Chain A
Amino acid sequence: VTGPLESRFRRLIALYPAGHRAVYAEDMINALMDGARPGQRRPHLRTTVDLLKGAAAAWILRFRARGRGWQRVAAPPAVAVLALLILGIHSIGATFDALDGAQFTPYRGRLAVVVLLPHLIWLPILVAAAVGLRRPAMWAAWVVGIGWPLLNTASGVSGWAPSFLGSPDQFPWLPVALLAAAGLGVERGVRQGFQALGRTGSLAAVLGVLILGLTLATGPAGPQAPPPAGTLLLGPGPAGPQLSPDAALLLLIIGLALLVPVCLGAAGLTGRSRVLATVTAVGALVLLAGGYTWSGSSNWYWNLRLQLSSTVPLTLLICSLIAGLRTVRAKGSPGSDLSTAAPPPA
């Protein structure tokens, strides 16, 4: 027979999450009843407050676990590291453009800061993450990734605003920024990312991203001057270093050949399938270049860069999605590490 004290304890314990109750409720009731004085009919205020605090802690534990699970699914560490590296390279490209004052003639003073900062900031974020300042790096990534496009859109200076989803001629800023920010939310995520890629994979990723990023940033300029809005990654200024289209194409092929297998590996593709997919991706680039040249296009390299600047980050997004789904399938639902054992015997 349940007495009034036990009933009141049970009412308080009903505030706990079901998973917690299934495991601990009976044991808790016994501990509470053992600690009660003979004849006691109501829980002490201190015990009541403590049980309420415990319920809040149990709920918070679950929400945090779900958050971490979501972050792992949205941005598996290996993909988050790649996203960060690509944004770091985007920063380098932006720096090249910033050094070329001619492109920023309309943007002076405070406006130039608003326009340039979201592009330049990713290199410091990458450095901060690398030296262990994960949380500041994560918050900076969230603020810059979401805040600056909103601010720039609201300010009406959309000409140089980082694009949200990207168009064929724009770097798809938001998805890559979100991947990087979510990845930074995972404790030890950056280290785990490099561990998941392995030593060879990490080296190939860094080299591939460096080669791709720098080639895209310093290759031959397109017919337009200045380059289209929001395409800082694409826009070498007239004063910037210039590569010949053929040399740039060769570097792009090398960069892709290094980066694509790492992205595919992060998405779980291995062995012959990965080699085949890499050859297909690089082959597609060569075919595209050949097609542009055959059609007599005078600015074939420019067109190629427009395609690459959106397809590389989008490939990263697709790899992330596949890797995330594999994580879910392998481990069950996010947060399943919380104990949900069967209820104890009555």
Chain B
Amino acid sequence: MATRMQEPTYLILAALASGPQHGYGIMKEAEQLSGGTRRLQAGTLYAALERLTGEGLLTTDREEVVDARFRRYYRLTDDGVAQLTEETARRRSQAHVVTQRLRAAGLLARAVDVLTHPSTPPAIQATS
């Protein structure tokens, strides 16, 4: 079953790689992971959260009330970690093939330059 994972799904799972997050935390984390290019909206996020929970990739970690506000934290299940790992490996392998093609075409220097000096640093910072 090698169905390709959609970008929002990948970002949601990746946002939870560093630990449990609540909904808004996932949105911010996903934005950072995409280098600011992708901003998940609440409708997309919660539809995906329900689907991924049903598929057994996510589960509720805990629920808290902070400043009279309800927060539900989500975390990856073992299946979720496995799927995320598999998808990351697939993307890495794809990137490797593209890099080889760029090298073969003599465009590698430019590609390395783009990779090492991206316009937006892909820093990953956990938000609490």
A residues lining the B interface (CB < 8 Å)? 20, 23-24, 26-28, 30-32, 34-35, 46-47, 50-55, 57-58, 61, 65, 337-339, 341, 344-346
Instruction: Find out whether the CB atom of A27 lies under 8 angstroms from the CB atom of B23.
Output: yes
Interface flag for B45 (CB, 8 Å): yes
The one of B23, B27, B50, B60 in contact with A58, judged by C-beta atoms closer than 8 angstroms, is B50
Residues of chain A with a CB closer than 8 A to B24's CB? 30-31, 34-35
Instruction: Find out whether the CB atom of A50 lies under 8 angstroms from the CB atom of B46.
Output: no
Residues of chain B with a CB closer than 8 A to A31's CB? 22-24, 27, 42, 45-46
The one of B46, B49, B54 in contact with A338, judged by C-beta atoms closer than 8 angstroms, is B54
What is the predominant secondary structure among interface residues of chain B facing chain A? helix
- CA of A28 to CA of B27, assembled, Å: 11
Q: How many residues of B contact A (CB 8 A)?
A: 23
Interface flag for B41 (CB, 8 Å): yes
- Which stretch in B66-74, B76-84, B91-99, B113-121 binds the other chain? B66-74
Instruction: Find out whether the CB atom of B41 lies under 8 angstroms from the CB atom of A50.
Output: yes
Q: Which residue of B lies closest to A26 (CB)?
A: B70
Q: How far is the CB of A150 from chain B (nearest CB, A)?
A: 35
- CA of A345 to CA of B72, assembled, Å: 11
Per-position 1/0 for B37-53, Cβ under 8 A of A? 00001111111011101
Q: How far is the CB of B83 from chain A (nearest CB, A)?
A: 17
- CA of A74 to CA of B70, assembled, Å: 41
Q: How far is the CB of A10 from chain B (nearest CB, A)?
A: 13
The one of B51, B54, B70 in contact with A30, judged by C-beta atoms closer than 8 angstroms, is B70
Interface flag for B109 (CB, 8 Å): no
Residues of chain B with a CB closer than 8 A to A26's CB? 70, 72
Interface flag for B65 (CB, 8 Å): yes
Instruction: Find out whether the CB atom of A344 lies under 8 angstroms from the CB atom of B63.
Output: yes
The one of A35, A46, A346 in contact with B27, judged by C-beta atoms closer than 8 angstroms, is A35
Residues of chain A with a CB closer than 8 A to B69's CB? 30
Q: Which residue of B lies closest to A16 (CB)?
A: B46
A-B contact pairs, 16 of them (CB 8 A): A26-B72, A28-B23, A31-B46, A35-B27, A46-B41, A47-B43, A51-B42, A53-B43, A54-B43, A54-B44, A54-B45, A337-B54, A338-B50, A339-B50, A339-B53, A346-B70
The one of A50, A58, A345 in contact with B42, judged by C-beta atoms closer than 8 angstroms, is A50
Q: How far is the CB of A337 from chain B (nearest CB, A)?
A: 6
Instruction: Find out whether the CB atom of B65 lies under 8 angstroms from the CB atom of A27.
Output: no
Residues of chain B with a CB closer than 8 A to A23's CB? 50
Instruction: Find out whether the CB atom of B50 lies under 8 angstroms from the CB atom of A24.
Output: yes
Residues of chain B with a CB closer than 8 A to A30's CB? 22-24, 69-71
Residues of chain A with a CB closer than 8 A to B65's CB? 345
Q: How far is the CB of A170 from chain B (nearest CB, A)?
A: 40
Instruction: Find out whether the CB atom of A51 lies under 8 angstroms from the CB atom of B43.
Output: yes
Residues of chain B with a CB closer than 8 A to A339's CB? 50, 53-54
